[in-house]
Homo-oligomer: A and B are copies of this chain.
Amino acid sequence: MEQRNVKLTVAYDGSGYHGWQRQTDNIITVQQVLESAIVKTVHHPINLRGSGRTDTAVHALGQVANFFTNTQIPTEKLYHAINSRLPDKSIRVRKSEDVSEKFDAITSAKSKLYRYAMFNHEEIDPRDMRYCYHYSFPCDANRMSEAAKLLLGEHDFTSFASAGNDRECNIRHLMRCDVSREGHWIYFELEANGFLYNMVRNIVGTLVEIGRSHWAVEKIPEILAALDRKEAGFKAPAEGLTLMWVKY
């Protein structure tokens, strides 16, 4: 029987999971729950490759993963079949597509967009607390936007990589780094050809230091040049982060 390579687009609420990546111990992760549902659907073991590991409490609207299978379930029905075997609606497969055998969710990715949501006012709606960073103090989105522009382009982002970053090369191309305010909300949108470990959250924390006027806008090039994590700002909390899409 011919092997099919199936690409899935997946949304999840990360608040109940210890991140994407399957763990060896008794910890619930998105990959593990999704793999179980796929195995129940296709009736054979699979190896699910996600485009990247999201951390504990990080969300996704457009995570991408692929796996090989010999199931005969038609592509357009496959995502329904998997969804019906997922334990609840905290993980939803949005789309299933047959792709070339060469497609790999990790290595074929051209760019990714992350969105970070910050609530910048004291009176947070308790229903939002799993989905944003609650920061009550005055924070200037225009200053942050100005600083964000200085991060655009190709740089060695070592200063924004947390310990545990195991990439061989820390040069990435940041194509988008937008900061915008909508009422009490501040949104950060970052698109790059790849991200270092905790890079988005470390950039957001750094921009917040600038937004609250603790640091000057001009500190950005200095931080980049230092190639030292200690020069950048704090790591913003995981709750605010959502992987929006992956481009191939």
Contacts of A91 in B (CB 8 A): 126
Contacts of A123 in B (CB 8 A): 11, 92, 94
**A90 contacts B13, C-beta separation under 8 Å:** no
Contacts of A89 in B (CB 8 A): 124, 126, 129, 134
One complex includes copies of this chain to the number of 2
**B94 contacts A11, C-beta separation under 8 Å:** no
**Closest beta carbon of chain B to A83's beta carbon, Å:** 9
A102 interface residue (CB < 8 Å to B): no
**A13 contacts B92, C-beta separation under 8 Å:** no
Interface size bracket, A side? 20 to 34
A77 interface residue (CB < 8 Å to B): no
**A130 contacts B127, C-beta separation under 8 Å:** yes
**B11 contacts A125, C-beta separation under 8 Å:** yes
A73-92 toward B: CB 8 Å interface, digit per residue (1/0)? 00000000000000011111
**Which A-B residue pairs are the 5 nearest by beta carbons?**
A13-B126, A89-B129, A13-B127, A90-B126, A12-B126
Known: A94-B123, A127-B130. 6 other contacts (CB 8 A): A13-B127, A13-B129, A61-B125, A88-B129, A89-B124, A89-B126
Binding site for B on A (CB under 8 A): 11-13, 15, 59, 61, 88-92, 94, 123-127, 129-131, 134
6 inter-chain pairs at a CB distance below 8 angstroms, sorted by A residue, are: A88-B129, A89-B124, A90-B129, A92-B123, A92-B124, A127-B131
